[in-house]
Amino acid sequence: MNLDAMLAQLQKDYVTELPDKISQMESHYTTGDFEALRDDFHKIKGTGKTYGLPEVSLLGEATENLCIHKPQALPEAIPLAIAILKDIHQKRSQGHEMPIATDPRYQKLTRL
């Protein structure tokens, strides 16, 4: 297997694992574990670009910043971020990119 094929497989595996990450985030949100949520979003901020998914990193960064600097915005921000992440999973599972910079939900998230 050449390097490009290996990277493509790693990206595919990461996308396949996103529903588990999303479920964990939903659980942390439901139980009010905002420290764990901050950690969840910190992790995807770091791993998204590594796996060729810059939109995951952008979402992770924006949401982690809210967790740190504007925790009062989290009741609105977390459901938005999770919905966007679900859409990223769906698009990437179909082999499509999702440029979130133009997504109104992401724009709202960055303005909270």
Question: Percent of the chain having pLDDT more than 90?
Answer: 90
pLDDT tens readout for residues 71-112: 999 999 999 999 999 999 999 999 999 999 999 999 999 999
For the entire predicted model, the pTM comes to 0.94
Radius of gyration of the chain (CA): 14
Q: In Å, how far from its chain's centre is CA 63?
A: 8
pLDDT tens readout for residues 28-68: 999 999 999 999 999 999 999 999 999 999 999 999 999 99
pLDDT tens readout for residues 98-107: 999 999 999 9
- Which DSSP letter does residue 2 get? -
Distance CA 9, CA 51 (A): 10
In words, the CATH class of domain 3-111 is mainly alpha
